[in-house]
Structure formats: C-alpha cells, structure tokens
Amino acid sequence: MKSTTSVLKNKLRVLATPLPSVSSVTAMILVGAGSRYEQRQENGIAHFLEHMFFKGTKKRPNALEISSVIDGIGGEFNAFTSKEYTGFYIKASAKHLDLVLDVLTDMLLNSKLDSGEIERERGVIFEELRMYLDTPMRYVGDVFENLLYGDQPLGWNIIGSLQSLKNIKRGDLTSYLSRFYVPNNLIVSISGGVGADEAESLVEKHLGGEAAKKTTNFLPVEITQKRPAVKLVSKKTEQAHFCLGVRSYPRGHENRYKLAVLNTIIGVSMSSRLFIQLRERRGLAYYVRSGVDEYRDTGFFAAQAGVEIKKIDEAIKVTLAEFAKLAKEKVSSKELTKAKEYIKGKLVLELEDSREVASLFGIQALLEEKIKTPQEIMKEIDKVEAADIQKVASDIFRDSALNLAIIGPYKDKAKFAKILKL
C-alpha cells in the first residue's frame, strides 16, 4: 500500500491512497492546530470551532442542511480535536467524492459562525464538559496530563474550562480560523476507490484558490520533574480510578516501536500482564488498560484502571511491580512474538477501512518528517527484540519519573506518594 503526495501551488498537501478493492472513499482534512496552540484565556477554542463548522454555511444555512446532504448519499461524517491537530472527514461511496469535498470545504471555508448558534453551542459544550467531569474513567486521563505538564497548553483540557468557554466570542473564533485554517497548514488525505489523479484534481478544484498564510507555532513543553508526583481529585465515587505512568518519547523517536510492543505486553489486550494480574488473578478491576501518547516534542506511557475503593493501594503496587519486572527481566520469545503479531494483526484490520487508512497517512504527513507505509511499520515491529523491551523499560520506569493521578473519595495525597517506588 502506497500513498502519493502532491503539493498544490498554495502549499496545500494532498495525500491519495488508492484502494482498488474498496468501493468507498474517505476524504479527511487535517489541520495543524489543536489545544496546545491556544492561549489560556481561549482554552477550548479549537474544539469549539470544530463544533461550529457543522452549524451552517451560506450555501447550507443550518446543521440540518449539512447533515441531509450526507445522509442523502448514505455517508458518515465526524470531526475530532486533539492537542496537536483537528480533523474532519466524510466517508461515502467513491462516486460521490466531488460532493464530499464540496461539503467539507464549504464547512471549513464558509461557516457562518452565527452569534445565536455560538451561544446555543456554548451550552452544548458546557454539558459535554460536565459529562466528562462526571465520568472518572474518562476524566482521570486529563488529570494525569495536567499532572505531567501543569499550567502549559499540553496540560490543559482539550475541551477547555467552564471559565475559558465563557470568554470565547465570535471574534476569537474568526481570528483563530484565519490564523490556522490556511492551505499551508492543511493536509487533505483521500483513501479508497479513487485514483490519485482524480483525488488531486478534485482537491485543486475545491481548495486550490485559497492563499497560503503564515501560521503560529506552539510553545515547546517544559519538563522539570525530579521526584514522583501525585495529583488527587477528591470526589465521592463508587469506584476509584487511577492513571499511573511516566514520560516517554516524542513522535519519530527511535524507541517508539519498542515502546509500542512494551505497551502491548503490559496492558493492551485481554491476555496482557496487567489484565491478568489485576482482573483475572485478583479481581481488583473490571477495566484495565495501558496506552502511549506521542506529541512532537514529548510523550508518555500510562496504565489505567478502575478499582474497589479499599483496594487501590494493592492495585497500584501490582501495577508498579509489573513496570519493574519489565526492566529487570527479559520477556519470553513467546510473549514477544504474541505482542508483535497482535500489533501487526490490528494494523491489518484497520487497513480494511478507508477512514483508518486516510488517518494513518494523513496524521503522519502532518506531524512527522517521513511517512511510513504499513509494511514499513510492520518491519519496524518485527525488528524489536526482548533486550529492546528491557532497555526501554529501564529507561522510562524510574522512581523519580513516576506520576499518579487518582479520582476517588480520598483526602491523603501523601499516603499515595509513599508507595510510588519500583
């Protein structure tokens, strides 16, 4: 599988990944801007603007008009905001690519940003934020990143705060739009049953006339941790939620695929170490998982679980023991092979979906220096050896690097700090 990259005269990049056996097409527009590009007083504006693009344009004056067009061709559409990028996509029959691009570009270039709609949507986003705050399984990850990065853009919630959301005005939205939604800061990734020439031609038709502009970069993250850290959100809950992790590596780092295999071994699947130790053997948790997040200049690895309130100490200690074990002992060849095959197998399944393919190539093009094909990624995974896992574990799992976020009915943060030892 290969992707063709072309650059229009206005510096907009077009990625076309033909999938001859697929009848659908996904058109995805990725913008090099997310919540880490925000100022404190406008925190949440990237996500707010994402919502507003669905509220109407001059050509399609309301949300119903926009959704009716996509529903009329049996398509699906959505958007997402992360800390480093924002994305919009429509997936439909390949024969409708021209219409799909017309709708997407109309939303991004001609949004009315009606003042009445802004106020209505502000209420919607308030409730979305309150929903997250009332969902510890979701919110504990945000608490963890705030612990890692503090009062820096990477440490703020993508959705914003109740106060910052109150401050955002129409002029702020239009200013943000003009700063970041410019051709040289966009990637259009098209994947599915459409050839590269047709894809480029249609993107040129819909976006070729827009002018390039200078954009604003993000501030590099500052890291000062010298000892284990704990952030406790004291709240009455039926279950305690914790997120325990360490800083790891940025995008493109030579250890990224080694860490991916380590992550799979420790907490991705139902046969992973933490799932077995916390759920199957001790009955401490229903959900338990681990994950890796990568940014341009930093990254982290973390494990998360929801556990019985009285047994959180035990769950944390078991998790720490599994971290330490990976640094002290080599994984078996059987476990290593299983983890690598798991990653490759999941990638193969994703490649059957034109949306996943558009995302895979598009995000790499936006954030990384080199685009790796799925085959190249699999080769990197195959190269990982047991000694690599142990070396990476020794590098990232250190007492001084530990970070623990907790949501639950507790008051004593110091008690948890005492058990943060590998």
Active centre residues (catalytic): 50
Tell me which amino acid residue 33 is.
Answer: A
Q: With beta carbons less than 8 A apart as the criterion, state whether 318 and 277 touch.
A: yes
Cα(221)–Cα(231) distance, integer angstroms? 19
Assess contact for 239 and 136: CB atoms under 8 A: yes
Please give the torsion angle defined by the CA atoms of residues 405, 409, 412 and 414, in that order, rounded to the nearest 10 degrees: -20
How open is the CA angle 412-413-414, to the nearest 5 degrees?
Answer: 90
Residue 364 near residue 371 (C-beta atoms within 8 A): yes
Nearest to 8 by CA among 94, 106, 105: 105
DSSP string, 5-42: EEE-TTS-EEEEEE-TT-SEEEEEEEES--GGG--GGG
Residues 199 and 242: their CA atoms lie apart, in Å, by 45
Contact, 136 vs 145, CB < 8 A?
no
As a whole number of angstroms, the distance between CA 96 and CA 76 comes to 12
Tokens 């940003």 belong to residue: 113
Q: Spell out the residues 6+ positions from residue 150 whose beta carbon is closer than 8 angstroms to its own.
A: none
| CA atoms lying within 13 Å on the CB side of residue 162 | 5
Quote the tokens at residue 220. 């590099």
